[in-house]
Structures are given as structure tokens and as C-alpha cells.
Chains A and B, each alone.
Chain A
Amino acid sequence: MSLHIAIDPTESEPGSRLVVCLEGLLNSQGAETAHHYLRILLDQQTKPVHVLLEGSKLTYLNSSGLRTLSQFSRELRKSGKRLALCCASEQLTDLVEVAGLSTLILMYPSVDEARQALVH
């Protein structure tokens, strides 16, 4: 199984917050897919946006995936925006914590909670 990644147009608010659904494996192969997709997505924006990753169907995440998300988060932070991973399993949430990346990859139990936290 590979990584499927797609923007959720019904949840996204152009110019403010994008909601992107992740499904499958964010391993070294998935990380490449995610990197390209997120890069293109960001280039298409006319103004900086928060990016909320909906990860309820994300089944695996390793150091390659964490590196990609971290690098992407650093890019967003340069324009004052944040990257959030929402609805991830307890296992993946723990992994981000153990990696010491929870201030870079913000974790929320739901997209709604991320949306409420990332207002500006």
C-alpha cells in the first residue's frame, strides 16, 4: 500500500486553512509523494495558509515521513503559518512526541480542534 494524498475541498478555506487527507504509508516512498504534492499545493496559494493534515487513515509513519513533514512545517513557519496532523492514531501521535517534533508537527485529535487553534 502506498500513500494517497488529496486536498479536502469541503473542509478547506482558501486563503486561510487547507485540509489535506493522508491515507496509507508515509514511509520513504510516501514521503516523496507527500513532498511533491505539498510543494505544488503551497506554490498554488496566493497567500500563506495553515495546512491541516487529516490522518485518520494514515497507518504508518517513519523517519522519512517525519523529515518531510518537519521540512514542510519549517517552510510554513517562515510565513507565520503552521502544520497540524489531526486524527492520527495514538501510535503515530506517540511517535511524533518521541521524535521531539511535536512543536513542529502540531497534533490535534480532530480537524475542528486544529481549526479552532489555528485562527490567524
Chain B
Amino acid sequence: MPETRETLTLRNKIAELERLSDFIAEFGDRNGLAQKDVFAFTLSLEELVTNIINYGYRGEGEHPIILTMLVEDGTVCALLEDQAPAFDPFAREEVDITLGVEDRPIGGLGIHLCKKMMDHVSYDHTGGFNRVHLHRMLRGPGTTVAVPDPIDTPLESNPQHHQT
């Protein structure tokens, strides 16, 4: 399948989540993704973007959050970038779902779900940007699967990827 790279720039407003889910749905349509793949990315990216808006940027000012998605070698990849203070969302201790339901803290559930929905997640901080990479292999029958390298689109050198 040829690589199809698409980019969306969001503002740090919760109201932007609707544009995010619309973008993922349309990306899914254009690339023939199964509903479960669209659901996995919608859920994961909404959780991450909500955290960036509420805790990264703390609801202050206006800042961009840039999402790049592509399909490559049977894998859907997403790169989420923001300029909030450096924070690795995956560094937090795993949610212990074996704890009794009455005892278990509710926090951290969104990131837990994101990790479970994806085949690979990673984080780096490059050039002042938090960069979260998500990979999910397509589940369709007969799909050739390989985990590609993380999307490498330094924002400073790829202004054409900033279009909304």
C-alpha cells in the first residue's frame, strides 16, 4: 500500500476533539481502515490530546497540537506533537487492573487503554516538541504487516505538514 501521509493542526481547546475524531474517521475512510482501527485511534488520540490540553498547556493561551497519520506496510502510524513542557505520558506506572474494583484508582485509565489499543507506543522530546508515536497493525485478512520506523517529521523543517 503506498504511503499516505495526512496532517491536522489542532488548537488546545476541548472543542477541537470533534475535529480530531472527524479527521480520523475521514483518514480511515480514505485508507480503507476497519472500524475497530478507527475506534482505536480515535480513543487513543482523544485521550492523549485531552491530556495535552488540560495538563500540558493547562488550558492557557493558544498553542498548536499537530497530528500526522500515515499507513505504511500494513501499519497505521500516528505522530502527535506539542510544545507543552516535556512530559512522557507512557512513563507513568501501569494501571493495576488486578486490584479489586473497589480499591483501584481510576486515574491513568486513558493511557492504559491507549497502550492496549496500540501495538507499539513511544515518546521522545525533540527540538522543544513532545512527540508521541502510535503504531497499530492493520487486522484485515491477508494484510502484510511490518512495524515501520517512527514517523520522522521535524516540524521546523517540514512546514508543509502544518496545514490543517
Residues of A within 8 A of B (CB): 27-28, 60, 62-63, 66-67, 70-71, 74, 77, 91, 95, 98-101, 103-104
Asked if A28 contacts B95 (CB within 8 A), the reply is no
Chain B interface SS verdict (over half): helix
Does the CB pair B106–A71 fall under 8 Å? yes
* Residue B28 at the chain A interface, CB threshold 8 Å: no
Task: List, in ascending order, chain A residues with CB within 8 A of B98's CB.
Answer: 100
Q: Measured between alpha carbons, how far is A56 from B122 in the docked complex, in Å? A: 35
Which of B42-50, B85-93, B136-144 contacts its partner? B42-50
Decide yes or no whether B1 CB sits under 8 A from chain A.
no
Ordered by A's residue number, 19 sampled pairs between the chains whose C-beta atoms are within 8 Å are A27-B46, A28-B14, A28-B17, A62-B43, A62-B46, A63-B47, A63-B109, A70-B106, A77-B102, A91-B35, A91-B39, A95-B113, A98-B113, A98-B116, A99-B109, A99-B113, A100-B95, A100-B98, A100-B104
Chain A interface mostly: helix
Which partner residue on chain B sits nearest A73 by CB separation? B101
Contact in complex: B50, A99 (CB < 8 Å): no
Q: Separation in Å of the A41 CB from the closest CB of chain B?
A: 21
A28-B50, A91-B36 are contacts. A99–B112 as well, Cβ < 8 Å? yes
In the complex formed, the residue of B with least CB distance to A102 is: B101
The answer to whether B64 has its CB under 8 Å from any CB of chain A is: no
